[in-house]
Structure 1
């Protein structure tokens, strides 16, 4: 059984199409199809069946998948071991993360990891949704709640805090805010209700505010609305130092705590490379959240 054919098999299994696998492998769909056929002939069993959603694994394909993934991990480990980069991480790693973490934390954390590992290429995918690690959309993902299904390993990275906040220019021109009841006279900024992809992001259900006048599915867009003086929003404390003029409002009354979780595919626990990166990522995130939140304490 040829490793290159297994690599093609994995790409099709994850992309669920020949063309999608071809884009990953940088070859045309016809070539991908021929390689799959060659592997099927080698194992004497069909590995995929064409379905309305694309290419789905057959029973034989599902049995082959974990073995192919273990070969993939072994090849990656061998490549690193023989590359002369002992003690350093190398190659490409992709992290999926919610956009708040991706925008305000990961740039600094990943820059420090990159400085310590010059041969490492880090890709940050910021999307307001849950990542599918089984399809290898990312090597690992950061989430705001731990998953309860799938062949995954989950590690809590750190707690973080959120508070109601507004730009000082807005507060200077608006009705005074002395209590939670005063919020009814103010414009609120938050998530689009039917696009909240995780219950942990339903902040306003805990504040008593029922109407969001300005909404976005992006944390960064919400923060820019707050920065523009458009109203009040629940924001990450770690984002406040990046937005001059934004201050916390009613910090002793409205205070939320959430957590970031690191999610990896269960088979990846055997990968020393990914484990070392995960350790560096966790240490960096904890330190950066603590640093930025201490700066945000002055914005009250």
Structure 2
């Protein structure tokens, strides 16, 4: 139960609360606020004393927000968004966006989608700065580790606002110089696959389901690296169609694999999506123009019917 209090929290109090909620540790919160850990520790104690109850539970895992902290955090995010919006209005004209926007995506979408979309975006908003993190790890929008995420997933998380950009189809590919026009079954070829860093990737799950005895000859740490290895003739692998189509040396060995199909989403946090700098990036026309292309007709496949598993 949340007790009543006469204390009126300040903007600095709310910034402190958000920093500790999003990071969970004094050190990381201090880094975000530009102070030292002891300052954050004393500020939390002082705030809890003024309010008259604990905001965080201290555990071995760090600071866990209690009921009151969570409730205050919701309001604090709105205040944060309003302040950022006001600053944006002062920094630029009525149409132009400015400031830093942090985007997280994977190496696959970075090369094929994000980078091609940046030139017209930055030309339209010269005062905008974009910080891109390409990683397979899930970067948290809730913790504000990024402002926008471009991810392949079946559905957008409920706590985020999502915009579907397109469908990502996957098929098995090999280097033309390696596979030629051979009709060998897929499991007769040498395979390339993502390593243990992507154990739940749709292509990994599909391979283990339909080819449980197959052991890839080469493991790499990203889908982009898988495509590079396939292009070098080191083996075959399931690849996103839009990625494979950008490489002239690859040949499709299967039809699209339904089990591997996902949607591409552009995700933002509901409290920050209306900020001019974030909205300028999230809703720019280049995303619609640059989304992954559709898979070619079945006549383009070299061996569409050679493997029931690949054509399911």
TM range (shorter): 0.7 to 0.9
1:139 — aligned with what?
147
- Alignment partner of 1:12 is 2:16: no
Deviation (angstroms), 1:19 = 0.4
Where does structure 2 lack aligned partners over 5 or more consecutive residues? Answer: 1-8, 303-312
Give the 3 Å change call, closer, same or farther, for CA 94–292 of structure 1 in structure 2.
farther
Q: Residues 253 and 64 (structure 1 numbering): CA distance in 2 closer, same or farther, change over 3 Å? A: closer
Report the CA distance shift for 1:76/1:293 in structure 2 as closer, same or farther (over 3 A): farther
Q: Deviation of residue 106 (structure 1)?
A: 1.0
- For the pair shown, the structure with the greater C-alpha radius of gyration is 2
Structure 2 matches for 1:109-128, cutoff 5 A? 109-128=117-136
| Partners of 1:53 and 1:8 in 2: CA distance | 19
Which residue number corresponds to residue 68 of structure 1? 76
Q: Deviations over 1:136-157 (max 9, x none)?
A: 2211222211457552222211
How many residues are aligned here?
Answer: 290
SS in 1 for 2:169: strand
Q: How does 1:25-40 map to 2 (within 5 A)?
A: 25-40=33-48
Q: Which residue of 1 aligns with 2:238?
A: 234
Question: Match of 2:60?
Answer: 52
Contact 2:174 2:235 in 1 (8 A): yes
CA distance in structure 1 between the aligned counterparts of 2:245 and 2:158, rounded to whole angstroms: 37
Q: How do 1:155-234 residues align onto structure 2 when only pairs under 5 Å count?
A: 155-172=163-180, 177-178=182-183, 182-192=185-195, 195-199=198-202, 202-204=205-207, 211=214, 212-234=216-238
CA deviations 1:208-265 (Å, max 9, x no partner) are: 5752332234112111211221011122233236545x22223547686432012222
Whether the 8 Å CA contact 1:191–1:217 is kept in 2: the answer is yes
Equivalent-residue separation in structure 2 for 1:59 and 1:199 (angstroms): 37
> Tell me, what secondary structure is at the counterpart of 1:71?
helix
| Distance of aligned partners of 1:194 and 1:34 in 2 relative to their CA distance in 1, 3 Å threshold | closer
Residue in 1 aligned with 2:286? 284
Deviation at 1:203, TM superposition (A): 4.5
Change (3 A) 1:127 1:113: same
Secondary structure of 1:231's match?
A: coil
Corresponding position: 1:260 with 2:264: yes
Provide the rounded CA distance (Å) in 2 between the counterparts of 1:201 and 1:4.
47
User: Shift in Å at residue 61 of structure 1?
Assistant: 0.8
CA deviations on 1:109-144 (whole Å, 9 max, x unpaired) are: 133312221111212222213332222221122221
Gaps of 5+ in 1: none
TM-score, normalising length: structure 1 = 0.83
- How far the C-alpha of 1:58 sits from its partner, in A, is 1.8
RMSD of aligned C-alpha atoms?
3.1
SS at the partner of 2:126? Answer: coil
* Higher helix proportion (structure 1 or 2): 1
Alpha-carbon shift at residue 76 of structure 1 (Å): 0.5
TM-score (ref. length: structure 2): 0.80
DSSP 3-state at the match of 2:271: helix
- The answer as to whether partners of 1:152 and 1:265 remain within 8 angstroms in 2 is yes
